[in-house]
Structure 1
Amino acid sequence: LAGCGAGGFSLEKAEVDRSIVTSSTPSSPAPPASSDTDSDQTTIGNAVSSADIQELGGQAVPWANAGTGSRGAITELVELNDGALTCRRFTATRESFDGVALYKGELCMAGAGGWRMQEFKAL
C-alpha cells in the first residue's frame, strides 16, 4: 500500500502492453431455424395422423420433439372425409427457444395409407 500511496504507480505513466495478442475463432454457422421448424412440423404431423379423434373427445394432443427441444399442443383437430379424400385440420402451438408460435395445418391421406402435410402455416 505504501508504494501505491506514495506515488509509485501512476496511470499517466502506464503504457499499453503491445506483446499481448488476442484473436477470436470463427464461429460455426448456426443451423437454419427452418430446419427446426421442419422437424417440428414432421413431429406434429405424426401426432395428428396417429391421434384417435373419437377417443380424444375434443381434448388437446400434446407433442414434443426431443431433437429440437420444442413442444406444444394440437387443438381443434377435426377429420373431414369427402368420399375420395380424408383430411385432418388442426391448430398447433409451438413453444421453442425462439418463442411461441401458432400454426394452422391440414394433413391428408396419401396413397398406401400414408399421410402428407397439405398446409402448415404460421398465424
Structure 2
Amino acid sequence: MSRNAQASGNRRTPRGISVSVRAIASVVLLSLGGCGMGGFSLDKAEIDRSIITSNVPSTVSGTATDAGLAADQMTIRNAASAADLEELAGQPLAWANADTGSRGAISAIAETKARGELCRAFSTSRESFDGVTLYKMRICMVGAGAWRIDEFRPA
C-alpha cells in the first residue's frame, strides 16, 4: 500500500489524535457549554407544592394539635393546683404528659385571693413535637379541689 493510502486510512492528525475522538470531545464540550450558559439555576428553581412529605397539619386550629394542647393545659393545671408552694420555695415545678409526650416546667407561681377566690398565676414552658413555647397561665379554684383555667396565652 502506498504511504498516502495508509495515512488516509488511519485518519490521524499530526499530533496523533484521531478525528473521531476530536469530534466526540467537541460534541461533549458544546453540550456542557450549553448547560453553563443558562441551563439550571437555583435562583430560578421553584418549590414543588404537589409533593406531600409528612402528616403534620399545616394549620394549628382545628387539628389534633389542639387536642394535645388542651390535654397539656389540664396536666399543667393539675400540677400547679397540687403544688405545695411552701415546699417549692420558688423552685420550678416539672410537669410531663405521657399521653402527648409534652413536658415543661412551671415557674414563678404567685397565689392570690380576690373576692373569696383563690387563684394561682405562673409561667410555664411547653416542649412538644412542634417546638418549645412559653406561656402565662392563671388558674382559680371554683370548688372543693376543682380548678378552672382563667388564662392561657403565649408569653
Query: Which residues of structure 1 form unaligned runs of 5+?
Result: 1-26
Q: Partner residue of 1:54?
A: 86
Q: Partner residue of 1:119?
A: 151
Q: Partner residue of 1:77?
A: 109
TM-score, normalised to structure 1, is: 0.73
Tell me how far 1:45 sits from its aligned partner: 0.2
Greater Rg over alpha carbons, structure: 2
Greater than 6 Å deviation, 4+ residue runs:
27-30
Aligned-CA RMSD value: 1.9
1:97 and 2:136 are equivalent in the alignment: no
1:42-71 superposed Cα distances (whole Å, 9 cap, x missing partner) = 000000000000110000000000000000
Q: What is the alpha-carbon distance in structure 1 between the residues aligned to residue 101 and residue 123 of structure 2?
A: 20
Aligned pair count?
Answer: 97
Identity %: 49
Q: What is the alpha-carbon distance in structure 1 between the residues aligned to residue 72 and residue 94 of structure 2?
A: 13
TM-score, normalised to structure 2, is: 0.58
In the alignment, residue 111 of structure 1 is paired with which amino acid? Answer: G
Q: Which has the higher contact order (CA 8 A, sep 6+)?
A: 1
Tell me how far 1:114 sits from its aligned partner: 0.9
Query: Which residues of structure 2 form unaligned runs of 5+?
Result: 1-53, 58-62
Tell me how far 1:78 sits from its aligned partner: 1.0
Tell me how far 1:38 sits from its aligned partner: 0.4
> Counting strand residues as a fraction of each chain, which structure ranks higher?
1
